[in-house]
Structure 1
């Protein structure tokens, strides 16, 4: 797991919005350092960081944990 501190601050007290989720997902891409030993390309690994960040946020909002 990776904590994106700047994104954590953006989320406090906010309602769900696609724009906010995109902003946080892009911050995760900038902060995350996917393994370079993977057979996948760097572009693919960054896309997976974005996708997993989006899914985690959407699930948290859906479950009322954000």
Structure 2
């Protein structure tokens, strides 16, 4: 497995985590817990954006990995 494919797999996993955290934030009855889930969701989103930018850099540097 190449570095690019590992990073892409990590991005996909983090998007799943983000969706789960968002779901917990919406479903939580406890306001404090909902805020914690929301903050974690936003942090995860920033990480996903950074990793997606890195995927673009990897694909630019190594065009053979584009689309994998």
Same topology, TM > 0.5: no
Going by fraction, where is helix more abundant, 1 or 2? 2
Between structure 1 and structure 2, the one with the greater Rg is 2
- The TM-score normalised by the length of structure 2 is 0.40
- The TM-score normalised by the length of structure 1 is 0.41
